[in-house]
Amino acid sequence: MAVLSERMISTFVVIALICTCTLAVLEGPNVCTRQDTYKITVKVSEQKPYTIRENTWCLSFPPRCSKYKVVFKTIYKEQEITKQKPVEECCSGYTETTSHDRCIPICSKNCRHGICIAPDVCKCESGYGGPLCDFKCPLGKWGGNCQEDCMCQNNATCDPFDGKCMCARGWKGKYCDQTCSPDKFGQDCGEQCRCRNGGSCHHITGECHCAPGYTGPLCDDLCPAGKHGNECKSDCTCQNGGVCIPTTGDCFCPPGWMGSVCAHRCPEGFWGRNCSMICDCYNGGDCHHVTGECQCKPGFYDDKCLKICPKDKYGVNCTEECDCRNGATCSATNGTCICSPGWEGEKCEKRICEDGVWGENCSKVCQCDQNNTEFCHPWTGHCICKAGWDGETCSRTCPLYTYGKGCQEHCNCKNNAQCSPINGTCICAPGYRGDDCSEICPENRFGEDCVQRCACKNGAKCSPEDGRCNCTAGWDGVLCDRPCDDKSFGKDCANKCNCFNNASCNPQNGTCTCAAGFVGELCKDRCLKGFFGHGCTQECDCHPENSIDCDPRTGRCICKPDWRGIRCETKCPEGLYGEDCHSQCNCMNNSSCDPDTGNCICARGWEGPDCSQPCKQGMYGVRCKEKCPEKKHGNMTCDHVTGEYVCRSGYMGLTCEHPCPPNRYGLNCAHHCYCKNGGECHHVTGKCQCMPGWQGELCQTPCQQGTFGVNCTQHCKCQHGRCRSSDGHCRCSRGWTGIRCTEICPEGYYGDQCMEPCECKNDFFTCHPAEGCICRYGYTGENCDEQLFSRNVQQKEESGYGSMIAGIFAAIIVIAITVTAWFYHRRRVADLKNEIAQVQYIADPVPDRNQFDNPVYAYQGSSRYDDGTTTLLNNRQIRNDLGTNKNVNNERVKLGFGVTIEEDDDCKGAYGLQYDLKNRDADLGNPNLNVYHSIDEMDGKKVEHVYDEIKQNESEYDHPDHPRPLSTTWKSQYHRMPNGTGPKTEDDDAGPSQLKDKDPELGET
């Protein structure tokens, strides 16, 4: 059955494909579909059962039994199936075209002057009519004889056969006198109008006429932004982002706006769409009419204006910075400064007390160190220190690794760098650099700011701090240019050499280089018999029977008694050979001759037939067979006899590997050095290499103050002390401590190294870091309990109080005098006319019409005891001349001028002028002479005024219509009166007429 199903599915697919191909043939209208029945034959499979027999083991005899079972096999058979398929064909009345792709209508009779448009329906050409389009009449006529008139309208034509109107596009009705309905247009009103949104279409063309607010070919678009109405020709008048309704033009306002054209904001307290949301702001704050965000009043902030501006902020949204000083509080609303006690001014920047004092009455003296203090608080006396200073009186620098105003900032300096207490700048110790002194000097640089260049040699590295050379193994000296001596080796030449028998010790690793004749690690072992030289590699060349041995160092043969010669080969005396020793030996350089042949046997270091030639370069010794040792210093070859090198200047040793001993230098170390103060003598040049802290040719001069180190090239950084010339270590002055002497002694300690404790008697003392217990500023005495400035402060306070009382008293006197003058001026005018006869007026020169001098105002009392009344009234008094001409100063004394300092001291307590009290009393008691008095004198003595000021418009004398001058200079028209108080002439001696008192109240000096 499964196979049958599979085959049926495959068949159906094939049929569907065939049907699809068939349906795809005809296109266009008038195509109909019918179901066509057909049959197909298919093979189907089925399972057919059958029985089979099997043999199996069993308990019988024989032990084989039969067993049956049913099995299935697949068989196939043919089966016929009926199916249907869709078939496309032309509908009734239509037939296929010759190309079999479309269906066209069929007219049973031929359309003569037209075309077949539907089954048996002809569409006639213009001017023809009838079912077969074979009838024709003139235009506007119809009927059998074309006698009938057409009644069609609007450009319609009538059928010439039956007179039926054929309407033009957009018209309908029997006579084509009706337009298409609003939803129809076109030929025979057969087209459906597609205009949308209430738009109507033209009955002929179908063009859409849109309703107000719409536009577009089909009226499916709203008016563009800013337009509305018919054909979207009207402009919108909405403001503030409002959108107008396209149909009516009414404004649709955005949130926060209202009104017919969206011109009005929401009323206070409302916001949002249609201004329907209520503001949620406090402390008088309003909200934004659009977003509802709170707009706080000055002094408040936060989402709901619940928070007051933080400290140092004010204004709208707390964006303004307060500029109040000295602890003043700032009004959060307008930034006005509310001064703390002791301050005044717009920004509270002015002290109420003068500098140096504080307190409610400015009576207390500030204790601050003036050099280190910005100001003394005028109310509390607290010292406000400058940046970098600390302590109760600003006499201590900031604690270690703090800086700035109030020492609140923490330094970030590394590697023992000094931190400036003022601005925190790191002052790097030698060997470091960078903003925080974290960078070590680069290689071959050292010292302050890493500007010094290292001079170390032979691979040595210098200390970045002081430039000291850290020598590699085998080197020594200030610059590591001196090898270890012959007794030491290794790092810092600290290891002792253990080589024996004059062996050379390698300065780097201590390896022994044995001298000729010795071997072994420490060169303890002598060469075996028969061998000699370096490494004992050379065989002795001696006559075996005539010699005892050879020298292990040189290979020289040690002959038995009576034997001579280089090899102990002869008994002949030196220079002879032969059987009887009669032959002369001509070998040179102490060489010997063979006793038989006379051939030369060359001495050590020589070769050639007559032994006259030295060994070739690089060879030496017996028969020139020994190689020169590896050279380290010296000339190009070794000695051809001994193998020793000729060392260059400053070196010694087997291979010239060791320097000259201390204090010796030069070739063969023959010269002496005289370096002082630990200076090292250079083994080659003899130049003294000074220890740190010394300089000069012989290192005899210490570094100048302010420098230290090698060659005195580094600069001290001790701010309050001196540095040690060797390493720059600071030795602080009294009162200072710290690595760079930048810290003042801690509170309670003073002196050298701040080791001495202060034990002051009382609180009037303060502990000075250098001197110990001293009086606080403003105090003195043995116990420092006497104020220096208390008397001055008290006098200042009393003086101010007295001046105020004097001013009030003077004002009262002026008022009293004015009232008195008002009531008595008429009577006084009459008296003045009688008295004025004593005054003479001269019109030459012409009187100054702008001046009027009244003698009553001619006296100026002494400023020393004046209570201020005379100054307030601008009075001046002219002293009477009693005719006392006892000395040359009488005229000057009369008006108080020309008195020396000593005279002024002698006249203390006088009534303000420098004339004696006796004369003054006489003047007061003599009414004839004492005609001028000051107002205060008249008030005190009850003496009537001889003259008084006159109202300007009531006197014909003394120019009453002009003001009285302030000047005390006498006018020329006023002459001296009989009592001598008038001015002198030009011929008179210098006296009162030429001098006047200076009035400090008027700015005169």
701 assigned to some structural domain: no
In sequence order, the 6+-apart residues with CB closer than 8 A to the CB of 424 are 403, 404, 409, 411, 412
Residue 569 to residue 596: CA distance in whole angstroms: 10
User: Which three-class secondary structure string do you get for 692-733?
Assistant: CCEECCCCCEECCCCEECHHHCEECCCCCEEECCCCCCEEEC
The average pLDDT across 616-624 equals 85
pLDDT category, 909, cuts 50, 70, 90?
very low
| SS3 of residue 808 by DSSP | helix
Q: Which has more confidence, 647 or 983?
A: 647
Residue 129 to residue 126: CA distance in whole angstroms: 8
The average pLDDT across 246-268 equals 88
Tally: H helices and E strands in the chain:
7, 94
Alpha carbon separation from 419 to 333, 406, 433, 436, 451 (Å, rounded): 42, 15, 13, 9, 20
Residue 633, pLDDT score: 57
* Ordered alpha helix ranges (H), 78-175: none
609 assigned to some structural domain: no
pLDDT at 915 over 80: no
pLDDT at 429 over 70: yes
Among left, alpha and beta (phi > 0; psi -120 to 50; other), residue 257 is beta
For the chain, what percentages of helix, strand and coil (3-state, to nearest 5) are there? 15, 25, 60
Residue 828, pLDDT score: 63
Residue 4, pLDDT score: 41
| SS3 of residue 117 by DSSP | strand
Name beta bridge partners: 234. 228
Residue 502, pLDDT score: 84
| SS3 of residue 187 by DSSP | helix
Mean per-residue pLDDT over the chain, rounded: 76
Residue 983 to residue 3: CA distance in whole angstroms: 163
pLDDT at 876 over 60: no
pLDDT > 90: percent of the chain? 3
Show the domain range for 74: 27-106
Residue 631, pLDDT score: 64
Lowest-pLDDT range, 577-591, 711-725, 793-807, 982-996?
A: 982-996
Residue 919, pLDDT score: 41
101 assigned to some structural domain: yes
The average pLDDT across 26-47 equals 85
What is the per-residue pLDDT across 743-801, written as a single tens digit (0 to 9) for each? 888 778 888 888 888 888 888 888 888 888 888 877 888 888 887 754 444 444 444 44
83 assigned to some structural domain: yes
pLDDT at 170 over 50: yes
pLDDT category, 718, cuts 50, 70, 90?
confident
Tokens of 432: 């470091």
**Can you spell out the DSSP letters for 931-952?**
----HHHHHHHTPPPS-----T
Residue 804, pLDDT score: 63
562 assigned to some structural domain: no
- Cβ–Cβ < 8 Å for 680, 671: no
Tokens of 206: 């179908």
Residue 835, pLDDT score: 53
Residue 939, pLDDT score: 40
Residue 1003, pLDDT score: 39
What is the per-residue pLDDT across 198-253, written as a single tens digit (0 to 9) for each? 888 888 888 888 888 888 888 888 888 888 888 888 888 888 888 888 888 888 89
Residue 900, pLDDT score: 34
953 assigned to some structural domain: no
Lowest-pLDDT range, 195-199, 735-739, 854-858, 995-999?
A: 854-858
The average pLDDT across 130-134 equals 83
- Give kind and range of the element (H or E) at residue 919: helix 917-925
Residue carrying the six token digits 């490494």:
535
Identify residue 758 by its one-letter amino acid code.
C
- Give kind and range of the element (H or E) at residue 835: helix 790-835
In sequence order, the 6+-apart residues with CB closer than 8 A to the CB of 17 are none
- Cβ–Cβ < 8 Å for 284, 275: no
Residue 581 to residue 564: CA distance in whole angstroms: 12
Residue 927 to residue 248: CA distance in whole angstroms: 112
Tokens of 331: 């009004």
- Cβ–Cβ < 8 Å for 490, 473: yes
57 assigned to some structural domain: yes
Residue 164, pLDDT score: 86
What is the per-residue pLDDT across 487-522, written as a single tens digit (0 to 9) for each? 889 988 889 998 988 888 888 888 888 888 899 988
| SS3 of residue 234 by DSSP | strand
Residue 409 to residue 422: CA distance in whole angstroms: 10
Reported in sequence order, the residue ranges of 341-425 that DSSP labels E, i.e. its strands, are 343-344, 350-351, 357-358, 364-365, 373-376, 383-385, 389-390, 396-397, 402-403, 409-410, 418-419
Q: What is the pTM of this model?
A: 0.41
Measuring CA to CA, which residue among 269, 267, 260, 214 is closest to residue 240? Answer: 260
510 assigned to some structural domain: no
Measuring CA to CA, which residue among 5, 9, 16, 11 is closest to residue 85? Answer: 16
Tokens of 390: 């600390």
pLDDT at 18 over 80: no
- Give kind and range of the element (H or E) at residue 20: helix 2-23
Question: What is the domain count for the chain?
Answer: 1
Tokens of 125: 């050409």
- Cβ–Cβ < 8 Å for 746, 334: no
Residue carrying the six token digits 């201004």:
275
What is the per-residue pLDDT across 947-979, written as a single tens digit (0 to 9) for each? 333 333 333 333 334 333 433 333 333 333 334
